[in-house]
């Protein structure tokens, strides 16, 4: 009516008061409007026909009820929204509690694993210390045995010299006894030695002493050999034939550990167990197993070499693998055998110094897989064995024979460190 879309509430109250008091102004405003333009309540307020106040009150009550219903529905929607938000918050709280409990469980498990790792580390340190003491004692015993053997050898040499001198005297006496030529008549007969004058007691004593010395030397050498078998590993570099020709598939006697003096061996080989927390088919597991005394490591040559150096030819693959295995074997003190397929008449890698790796080639028409399984089967059952190959037949066959196994990729990872 005033040409404004919006007015402040204070201005609206002023206009309402003027309309309510000034009838002429109210009629003038009503004349400027159609009946359908304002709502019914506004038209009644402006025109004020008979009974308008009652009708306006009824309309006011209806409007109030409508406003109340609208506010009630709005409040219900708000309650529903708040309830849904509260449920979401409850779910979030439950999820947070679940995550907290999971985190606590993981923390407890991590602490348990760490405690186990600390115990394993402590056990490893104690074992290393014990092995160091055993090795020191063995070295001392070896040195004492070497000194004893040297003394026995010198004694034996002295006895042999005495025996040689006695034999020389005996031969001289025998030549005098059989000499039948008569002496010249003008010269008195010189005193001649007879068999009765031969010092047989001294000879017997010397021979008996030599026999005892020989026995003592043999016993000392046997003790030295046994001590060497216990305290040292197979000499590094004693590989296949020095002329480069392929060696035979069966394991040479130097591969096997010394036989049990009691003559008894377990009926079946039992795989070694790694320390707690160390997986067998892992770089740490391979290194730990290769460091075990008496363990023989068999490597499927081309299976590993083609995984590590696929871009090289076979000769370069063999050279690279043997050199890498030599460094690993020297570091962990292991006996390593690597077997290649011999169909291409391969040669042993050319190196300047001997490597602690034994190189084998399978005969023509025989796969290296069969050679490896044959070597595992021919080793004594009390000798632990580690076979490294990703070939399923080799791995399964080796496990059936009681050997530990690891994949070629794991060895390649260890060689790359």
Give the domain ranges of the chain.
Answer: 126-181+192-231, 283-415
Two tokens, residue 149:
């053997």
Q: Tens of pLDDT along the chain (417 residues)?
A: 565 567 788 887 888 888 888 888 888 887 777 766 677 888 888 888 888 888 888 888 888 888 888 888 999 999 999 999 999 999 999 999 999 999 999 999 999 999 999 999 998 888 898 898 888 888 888 888 788 778 778 777 777 777 777 777 777 666 655 554 455 455 444 444 444 444 556 666 666 666 566 655 555 555 554 454 444 433 333 334 333 433 433 333 333 333 344 455 667 899 999 888 889 999 999 999 999 999 999 999 999 999 999 999 999 999 999 999 999 998 888 889 999 998 555 555 544 444 579 999 999 889 999 999 999 999 999 999 999 999 999 999 999 999 999 999 999 999 988
Q: Which residues contact 384 (CB under 8 A, 6 or more apart)?
A: 269, 271, 272, 289, 292, 294, 295, 296, 403, 404
Q: What are the beta bridge partners of residue 359?
A: 338
Class (C level, CATH) for 283-415: alpha beta
Distance of CA 341 to the CA centre of its chain: 28
399's tokens: 């496990």
pLDDT at position 22: 86
pTM: 0.39
Q: Which residues have C-beta within 8 Å of that of residue 411, sequence separation ≥ 6?
A: 286, 299, 304, 388
Angle at 287 between CA 284 and CA 289, to 5 degrees: 105
| Contact assessment for residue 390 and residue 263, using Cβ atoms and an 8 Å cutoff | no
**Paired tokens of 208:** 């008996």
C-alpha closest to that of 302 among 193, 408, 154: 408
Other C-beta atoms closer than 10 Å to the C-beta of 368 total 26
Q: Which helix (H) or strand (E) holds 335?
A: strand 335-340
SS3 369: helix
Cα distances (Å, whole numbers) of residue 234 to 77, 254, 319? 87, 7, 22
Residues pairing with 367 in the sheet: none
Q: Which residues of 263-274 are buried (b: 16+ CB within 10 A; e: fewer)?
A: eeeeeebebbeb
* CA gap 298, 389 in Å, rounded: 9
| Distances, alpha carbon 21 to alpha carbons 14, 16, 25, 26, 373, in Å | 11, 9, 9, 8, 119
Q: Nearest-CA neighbor of 170 among 193, 132, 198, 204?
A: 198
| Host H or E run for residue 297 | strand 296-300
- Answer yes or no: are the C-beta atoms of 25 and 19 closer than 8 Å: yes
**How many whole angstroms separate alpha carbon 18 and alpha carbon 312?**
107
Closest of 40, 39, 36, 2 to residue 19, by C-alpha:
2
Q: From CA 399, how far away is CA 376, in angstroms rounded? A: 10
335's tokens: 């006996």
């Amino acid at each position: 009516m005033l040409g404004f879309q919006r007015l402040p509430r204070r201005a609206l109250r002023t206009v309402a008061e003027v309309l309510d008091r000034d009838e002429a102004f109210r009629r003038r405003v009503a004349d400027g409007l159609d009946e359908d333009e304002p709502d019914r309540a506004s038209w009644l307020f402006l025109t004020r026909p008979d009974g308008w106040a009652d009708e306006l009150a009824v309309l006011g009550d209806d409007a109030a009820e409508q406003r109340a219903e609208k506010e009630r529905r709005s409040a219900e929607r708000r309650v529903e929204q708040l309830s849904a938000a509260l449920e979401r918050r409850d779910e979030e709280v439950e999820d947070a509690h679940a995550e907290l409990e999971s985190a606590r469980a993981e923390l407890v498990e991590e602490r348990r694993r760490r405690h186990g790792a600390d115990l394993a580390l402590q056990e490893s340190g104690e074992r290393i210390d014990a092995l160091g003491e055993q090795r020191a004692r063995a070295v001392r015993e070896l040195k004492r045995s070497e000194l004893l053997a040297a003394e026995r050898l010198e004694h034996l040499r002295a006895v042999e010299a005495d025996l040689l001198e006695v034999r020389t005297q005996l031969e001289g006496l025998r030549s005098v006894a059989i000499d039948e030529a008569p002496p010249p008549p003008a010269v008195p007969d010189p005193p001649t030695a007879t068999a009765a004058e031969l010092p047989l007691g001294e000879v017997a004593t010397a021979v008996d002493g030599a026999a005892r010395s020989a026995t003592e030397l043999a016993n000392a050498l046997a003790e030295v050999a046994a001590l060497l078998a216990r305290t040292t590993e197979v000499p590094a570099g004693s590989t296949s034939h020095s002329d480069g020709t392929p060696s035979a598939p069966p394991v040479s006697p130097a591969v096997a550990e010394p036989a049990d003096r009691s003559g008894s061996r377990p009926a079946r080989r039992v795989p070694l167990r790694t320390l707690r927390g160390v997986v067998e088919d892992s770089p740490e597991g391979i290194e730990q197993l290769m460091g075990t005394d008496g363990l023989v490591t068999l490597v499927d040559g081309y299976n590993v070499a083609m995984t590590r150096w696929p871009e090289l030819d076979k000769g370069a693959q063999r050279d690279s693998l043997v050199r890498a295995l030599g460094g690993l074997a020297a570091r962990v003190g292991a006996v390593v055998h690597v077997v290649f397929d011999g169909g291409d008449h391969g040669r042993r890698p050319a190196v300047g110094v001997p490597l602690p790796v034994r190189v084998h080639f399978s005969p023509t028409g025989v796969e290296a897989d069969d050679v490896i399984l044959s070597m595992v089967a021919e080793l004594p059952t009390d000798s632990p064995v580690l076979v490294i190959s990703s070939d399923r037949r080799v791995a399964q066959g080796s496990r059936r024979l009681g050997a530990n196994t690891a994949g070629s990729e794991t060895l390649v990872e260890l060689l790359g460190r």
